[in-house]
A and B are shown apart, each in its own frame.
Chain A
Amino acid sequence: MIEQPTPSAATGAALVELRDVHYRVGSRALFNGVNITVQRGSITAVMGPSGTGKTTLLRLITGQIAPSSGTVTVFGRDVATLRRDDVFAMRKRMGMLFQNGALLTDLDVFENVAFPLREHTRLPEAVLRTLVLMKLQAVGLRGAATLMPQQLSGGMARRVALARAIVMDPEILIYDEPFVGLDPISMGVVARLIRSLNDALGITSIVVSHDVQEVGVIADQSFIVADGTVIASGTSEQLQSSTQPAVQQFLQGAADGPVPFHYPAADYRTDLAAAESAQ
């Protein structure tokens, strides 16, 4: 089920590497030369304000889209050159947690977690059941196995999705905004799960988020993406001591700064005067 690590990964080199990645949607440049390196066994956070294309970054890594220029290397191979079958083989070694869980609504919790196993393996029912219950136990939801996705709270749905993401024993786990819309307790639970799964299963994790506090606690290294490029990287201590205004604004959550509070508009007074004269 799990393929042998590729030579480059075994030597301790980067498991995921983005080198000078440019990505354009129409005429709009979303990325202008992004460089990100993810070390094997680490938790890497990719942070940044909304709308900076963090989710697009994940789609580049998982081979859903190809960069306009630059290379995305995963498991030592350039994703853009992979054929469809190779992309699917690569994805079997990855797990991904979607923002809202993306559980299949017509299957119960147990079958959702069993889904990848049923699709890709021919395990005897007893083995499959054991595997699924083990993963559900790991996220603390073995008791919810018979519930339907509609009956789950947001935090529970995300933990079920996490169990599903790890059921194939992936080498890389990707989290897309794992903390959005969760209450403080669920947030803490998910954060602890990310850390403990990473260490216990020897997984490499990539967390895309804008929850600075939560991510800062668990991440080994962070990259802050803004304006189409990485504006800062390092451990959370290194980031905290950064003197860049854009980094400080993001970390402290200041309303105004390099990212302006106001959407670009004509001069306020001229606008109001025009409204008055129109009456």
Chain B
Amino acid sequence: MISRLAASLSRIGAVALFLLQVLAACGPALLRPRLIVQQVYNTGARSLVIIMLCGLFVGMVLGLQGYDLLARFGSESALGVAATLGLLKELGPVVTALLFAGRAGTALTSEIGLMRATDQLTAMQMMAVDPLQRVIAPRFLGGIIAMPLLAAVFNIIGIYGAQLVGVSLMGVDQGTFWSQMQGAVALHDVNEGIVKSAAFGVICSLLAVYEGYNAEPTAAGVGLATTRTVVASSVMTLVVDYMLTAAFLKV
């Protein structure tokens, strides 16, 4: 028990030290924006379809459940507000982060892990190229940029999904849906979502590149590292989500 506690504590420390190394490598990496743009495409654009699809269905479910709940109090007209706040503040950032960990995080880990297993990272070091600057930092930065953008797309599609179900299917008045939303949702609600998704972007990207970079250089090691990326990213996302929510509500 104590040894397992010590092991997880040392892992947190290792990730923190790795973060410092990556941050130091980010400076030189920023001078080569093409590499970062390429990674935004890799992690962001390639996750777009799954994000949009999931956003649509999460929004539609919100429309159904929200309508059912609100109808019990006779306040169906607030459906727009409920769905939008739920998406912007919680579901958008969190579900996007979970999907990101599953789609982009695993891809990053296995890509970097395979580069480790096939000596590509060592080869770079032998060519006097620092893999942290050339490989890790661009992927880390790309993930951080992509996550809030993906969350924004998720929110937009989700709100339309809620509208689709609430207005077209359940019969909420369209004007009420949008005007109530416009009146009740403030800028700080949007900001809360952006801050959250940025934080999740750092967590998911960092864990993905960390696990890949430190994967055991075998097929089994890469597989294990990929699993650890999903598990660790998901757990950390939900834990940090609670902390951020509490901080925003000043509990």
Contacts and interface: CB of A to CB of B under 8 A. Distances in A.
A171 to B, nearest CB: 14
Contact of B119 (A102, A119, A164, A168): A102
A91 B126 contact: yes
B118 interface: yes
B127 A62 contact: no
Contacts of B128: 88-89, 91-92, 116, 119-120
Interface stretch (A93-101, A189-197, A228-236, A259-267): A93-101
A105 B38 CA distance: 15
B176 interface: no
Contacts of A89: 128
A100 B125 contact: no
B118 A105 contact: yes
B123 interface: yes
B120 A104 contact: yes
Nearest to B126: A96
Interface residues of B, number: 14
A115 B122 contact: no
A119 B125 CA distance: 12
Contacts of A96: 123, 126
Nearest to B119: A102
Contacts, number: 47
Interface string B110-128: 0000110011101111111
A98 B119 contact: yes
Contacts of B123: 96, 98, 102, 104
A64 interface: yes
Interface in A149-203: 164, 168
Contacts of A120: 128-129
Contact of A115 (B118, B119, B125, B127): B127
Interface in A124-165: 164
B228 interface: no
B118 A91 contact: no
Contacts of A116: 127-129
Contact of A102 (B122, B129, B134): B122
A102 B125 contact: no
A119 B129 CA distance: 7
B103 to A, nearest CB: 18
B112 to A, nearest CB: 11
Given A98-B122, A119-B134, A91 B115 contact: no
A91 B122 contact: no
Contacts of A88: 128
Nearest to A176: B119
B224 to A, nearest CB: 21
Contacts of B115: 104-105
A105 B119 contact: no
Nearest to A89: B128
A278 to B, nearest CB: 31
A69 B78 CA distance: 75
Interface in B92-138: 114-115, 118-120, 122-129, 134
A105 B126 contact: no
Interface of B: 114-115, 118-120, 122-129, 134
22 contacts: A64-B125, A89-B128, A91-B128, A94-B126, A96-B126, A98-B119, A100-B119, A102-B118, A102-B122, A102-B123, A104-B124, A105-B114, A105-B115, A105-B118, A105-B120, A116-B127, A116-B128, A116-B129, A119-B134, A120-B129, A164-B127, A168-B127
Given A64-B125, A91-B126, A119-B127, 14 more contacts: A64-B122, A89-B128, A91-B127, A92-B127, A94-B126, A99-B119, A100-B119, A102-B122, A105-B118, A115-B127, A116-B128, A119-B129, A119-B134, A164-B127
Interface of A: 62, 64, 88-89, 91-92, 94, 96, 98-100, 102-105, 115-116, 119-120, 164, 168
